[in-house]
Amino acid sequence: MTTQTQNNTPHYNVYFVDDTDKEPRWIRIGAARDNLDERGVSLKIDAMPMDFKGELVLRKSKAKGVSA
């Protein structure tokens, strides 16, 4: 099944949030893009923890050239 996306620029970064320690660790593991039909999001996951205990969080990507 192929889902069309608007372009190759990610709309979101995908993070794994490891909350097993005192301080949560945010680890970027992929990217996500809105689908053309605006009814879903396509994820590209580059890495996944073996012992998954935490959550996945999508955060909007910052535009290039914009500093935080």
What was the pLDDT predicted at 6?
52
What was the pLDDT predicted at 5?
47
pLDDT digits (tens, 9 = 90+) for 9-55: 789 999 999 888 888 889 999 999 999 998 999 999 998 878 777 78
What single letter denotes the amino acid at residue 52? Answer: F
What CA–CA distances, in Å, run from 36 to 2, 11, 15, 41, 64?
A: 12, 12, 23, 9, 22
Least confident window among 4-13, 15-24, 59-68: 59-68
